[in-house]
Amino acid sequence: MAVFVAALLVTSAGVATAGVAADSPSNVSITDSVTVTVTSVTDGDTVDVEYQNGSTDTVRLLGVDTPEVNGENTPSEYEGVPDTQAGSECLASAGDDASQYTTSALAGETVTLKFDSEADRRGDYGRLLAYVYADGENVNRDLVETGNARVYDSAFSKSETFYDAEADAQDAGDGLWTCQSPDDGGDGETDAVSIDWVYAEADALNDERVKLTNDGDSAVDMSGFVLSDAADHEYAFPDGFTLDPGASVWVHSGSGTDDADDRYAAFGSEVWNDDGDTATLTDADGDTVDERSY
């Protein structure tokens, strides 16, 4: 009879699991939670756990992606990170930081796993997909909020709050988002103005924006500078607009009141393609100041 019962226990992937105890995720509903102990941390978003009956599993933290520590990183997966050797090396360092963060938060701790009705129970590699709560805090979201992870583009019910936390971390330049820094500094010339990043995956028109930064030592007169995309949508900076050293300006796709920090292109619709585009900044003479593809 025990063998027959075990054969009826089926994972979310439809694979029979023998000897699974009552506290395993195969036996709980999508709205239930499970108490486990974290036995080891693979990297920032993957941990090994032990159930109360002694069985084990591997958990992939749902909705987040931290930079790789055991393989190569792809900078284009991280909004605004340059697809260069410097970008890859920066992400590798950020991956180490994320692993340390997760280790400090979870290693050896008894935590709660919670599941999401809008997400798969297991991922492509058979890992359990779950939110991990430690001392009542959602560690998945904490990773995003601190800049240790990006939001993984997938279906899950908390995605909106996760994307909000990601935007705040990007704006603050926290964690891995320090990797968005321009490749080169400046000497006060116009080429000190760089396109830091393009935020294309926005929920609202004014959230779609481009960040330009003056990394030089002197103010840059940007009169007549033009920011454009690959489809020739253009925003021209007005006469007299100056960007101080160390300052940044955001060019939003929507409409609003211009000031020193925010400019509004009034495109009327989103122009920066989510699946890739090229931002180009030219000066008043039409010479390219900076260009960034993603």
Helices and strands in the chain, H and E counts? 4, 18
Q: Is 68 a catalytic residue?
A: yes
Phi, psi of 90 (to 5 degrees): -65, -45
Q: Of these residues, 60, 141, 209, 292, which one is catalytic?
A: 60
Contacts of 253 (CB under 8 A, 6+ apart): 202, 205, 206, 208, 209, 265, 267, 269, 270, 271, 272
Decide: helix, strand or coil at residue 257.
Answer: coil
Cα three-residue angle 94-36-13, rounded to 5 degrees: 85
Q: Is 60 a catalytic residue?
A: yes
| Longest CA span, the chain | 83
- Among 61, 95, 78, 43, which residue's Cα sits nearest to residue 201? 78
Over its C-alpha atoms, the chain yields an Rg (Å, rounded) of: 23
Q: Of these residues, 68, 79, 145, 208, which one is catalytic?
A: 68
Q: Is 127 a catalytic residue?
A: yes
Q: Of these residues, 79, 122, 127, 145, which one is catalytic?
A: 127
Q: How far apart are CA 178 and CA 87, in angstroms?
A: 10
Residues labelled catalytic: 60, 68, 127
